[in-house]
Amino acid sequence: TKSVTLKNVTKTFHDDNNNLVHAVSDVNLTIEQGEFATLLGPSGCGKTTTLRMVAGFEEVTQGDIYFGSENVNKISPNKRDCTMVFQSYALFPHLSVFDNVAYGLKIKKLPKDVIEEKVDKIFSIMNLTDHKTRMPSQLSGGQQQRVALARALVMEPGVLLFDEPLSNLDAKLRLLMRDEIRRLQKRLGITAIYVTHDQSEAMSMSDKVIVMNNGKIEQVGSPQEIYQRPTSRFVADFIGTANFIQGKVLGRKENELEIQTADTILRAAAYGDFFEGQSVLIVVRPEAVRLKDEGEGSLKGKVTKSVFMGQTQEYEVDYNGVPLQVTVHNPMGEKIYEVDETVSLHFPKESLHIIKG
């Protein structure tokens, strides 16, 4: 298993009108040995291009890619110590499940008994043994994707690459496969780079999330860091749901900033540099807002939406003309506010986060 490092990696293409497209711009990134790292971002932000450069399917326009300490820029894809799992499973239709999985090992000219041993081991780890004589057409989509995963894992690559591998599966199977991929990756200790535009997939699977926007890295961090301490409005918006309250920095008290908003002063721990008088946005997650009866606090809002969702009650509350999304867990026993009710709003300071705005 290997670490992967990208140093100042840039990729440009020419579009149909011969205009230069910056698909990836000056990306710097290290993925540690055995880490599960996910490239997350909207369609067209450069995730696939980044992954294909790591795999060697695309040459870098500028910069360097390292596997461990080795520069792999000039190494062809089949000689790089990595394999890729695609969204389309790309199984060979005329080969049995066993032969599909054994294919890469045969190309490597391993002895027959070694091949059988390795394939059988992967089949047993993945509970695929019963399917090994079947043809791909006799398998469901989910089973085919698991065979595709087995085919990648059997190569025991130093680095495993995934490009939106679960997009073609139904919702329930996607959840199961997330767990399975994560379990296998940890068990085998393989370094994994995973590409998705689905933030819940990224959050639930990754050690490290790399948020990309427009060919550039916006933020790198653990799922918790990305969710709780986004460094930009883009990240706060892209990961989950975010409310933004505008304010100005009044001053600093120890490690906390005092922020003047339209109708109050809020305090929050400060990460990063802020100066007095600076315009900022306070990021408040829907589940961080507390609702109480009118009068039980100085900040007022008016309920404009109140939807029972089972596990949660989802509100929209008009706060000084800004719609706030509020999620209250476990409505059982919890008071439910109706549309047009006036409520008091509370923003616990430990759940506030400040970004430049």
Q: Tell me the residue type at 55.
A: A
- The yes or no reply on residue 13 touching ligand ADP (CB under 6 A) is yes
Among Mg ion, ligand ADP, none, residue 23 binds (CB under 5-8 Å by kind): ligand ADP
306 makes contact, choosing from ligand ADP, Mg ion, none, with CB < 5 to 8 Å by partner type, with none
Closer Cβ to Mg ion, 181 or 343, answer by number: 181
The reply to whether 45 sits near ligand ADP by the rule CB under 6 A is: yes
23 lies in the binding site for ligand ADP (CB under 6 A): yes
Q: Which is nearer to ligand ADP, 38 or 306 (CB)?
A: 38
**CA distance linking residue 181 with residue 162, whole number of Å:** 10
Q: What is the Cα–Cα distance from 165 to 195, expressed in whole angstroms?
A: 8
Residue 191, beta-bridge partner list: 159
How many amino acids of this chain bind ligand ADP (CB under 6 A)?
12
Which residue, 198 or 287, has its beta carbon nearer to ligand ADP? 198
Q: Which does 1 bind (CB under 5 to 8 A by kind): ligand ADP, Mg ion, none?
A: none
Measuring CA to CA, how many Å separate 196 from each of 59, 134, 161, 168, 256?
22, 30, 12, 12, 35
Half-sphere exposure of 111 (CA within 13 A, CB side): 3
CA–CA dist 160, 166 (Å, integer): 15
- CB of 24 closer than 8 Å to CB of 50: yes
Residue among 8, 21, 70, 88 that touches ligand ADP (CB under 6 A): 21
Select the span of 13-21, 67-75, 111-119, 297-305 touching ligand ADP (CB under 6 A).
13-21
User: How much is the CA Rg of the chain, to the nearest whole Å?
Assistant: 25
How many other CB atoms sit within 10 Å of the CB of residue 253?
Answer: 9
Q: Which residues bind Mg ion (CB under 5 A)?
A: 48
User: From the CB of 7, what's the least distance to ligand ADP, in Å?
Assistant: 19
Is position 46 an interface residue for ligand ADP (rule: CB under 6 A)? Answer: yes
How far is 10 from 168, CA to CA, in rounded Å? 30
Interface with ligand ADP includes 308 (CB under 6 A)? no
Task: Please pick, from the candidates 17, 18, 19, 43, the single residue that binds ligand ADP as defined by CB under 6 A.
Answer: 43
- Give the shortest CB-251-to-ligand ADP separation in angstroms: 41
**Residue in the block written with tokens 């045969």:** 106
The residue among 58 and 316 lying less far from ligand ADP, judged by its C-beta, is 58
List the one residue from 1, 5, 49, 196 that touches ligand ADP (CB under 6 A): 49
3-state secondary structure of 314: strand
* CA 294 from centroid of its chain's CA atoms: 39
Residues forming the site for ligand ADP (CB under 6 A): 13, 15, 21, 23, 41, 43-49
